[in-house]
A and B are shown apart, each in its own frame.
Chain A
Amino acid sequence: KNQVEQSPQSLIILEGKNCTLQCNYTVSPFSNLRWYKQDTGRGPVSLTIMTFSENTKSNGRYTATLDADTKQSSLHITASQLSDSASYICVVRNYGQNFVFGPGTRLSVLP
């Protein structure tokens, strides 16, 4: 069964600290992997998109990594800010218009 799992379910960190969110997937075939940020009450917004040939991709303070062999991805947030408080969703594109969404990690950044 095509699945995307994320850990931890929730995370609390202090402003200025770094953190890493994990994503494991069992989706096959694999087309690409995305990370989205979803603020409370808003729609998801794309942070990065990676194909199987890309190991790492950065977007400002966000850096995503992909290991297609172990089917794992991580999202590293550097020097966190209060505005980073949100849910972070890992999504794997299967084929065609089939996207498998993870349940998300809820990040809270405290002052």
Chain B
Amino acid sequence: NAGVTQTPKFRILKIGQSMTLQCTQDMNHNYMYWYRQDPGMGLKLIYYSVGAGITDKGEVPNGYNVSRSTTEDFPLRLELAAPSQTSVYFCASSNLGTSGGLNYNEQFFGPGTRLTVL
């Protein structure tokens, strides 16, 4: 299994440009997530999906859009790039599991996309 793959690894955008960050997982996970990681800060949830055709906003969704047409793919779209979107973006996937008799989601992360907006 390749796990969670992300493309591109690096990208530089000009203000106002748009782009799509790609994320694919081959573990047949129902749940998928997009996070951003800023220096010295914890990861922040942008959007998540609990299955194909279902998406929901996270903590910091403004300026982003997502779609989930298949179980495997969860692309993140930036429509009008702004300097505040300079960050490292991580995609993750998970399924339900159990520990101590209780349910949990173990998240598996991709390698990240480093985006700079100038």
Contact = CB atoms under 8 A, between A and B. Distances in A.
Interface of A: 4, 31-32, 41-46, 49-51, 53-54, 89, 91, 93, 97-104
Given A42-B111, A42-B112, A54 B100 contact: yes
Contact of B41 (A42, A91, A98, A103): A103
A46 B93 CA distance: 12
Contacts of A4: 42
B78 interface: no
A45 to B, nearest CB: 7
Given A43-B4, A49-B106, A101-B44, 15 more contacts: A31-B104, A43-B109, A43-B110, A46-B106, A46-B108, A49-B104, A51-B100, A54-B100, A89-B43, A97-B45, A97-B58, A99-B45, A101-B43, A103-B42, A104-B42
A101 B112 contact: no
- Per CB-CB distance, the 10 closest pairs between chain A and chain B, nearest first, are A43-B109, A101-B42, A101-B43, A51-B102, A51-B100, A97-B48, A44-B109, A32-B104, A103-B42, A53-B100
Interface residues of B, number: 28
Contacts of A98: 45
Contacts of A89: 42-43
A53 B102 CA distance: 9
Nearest to A98: B45
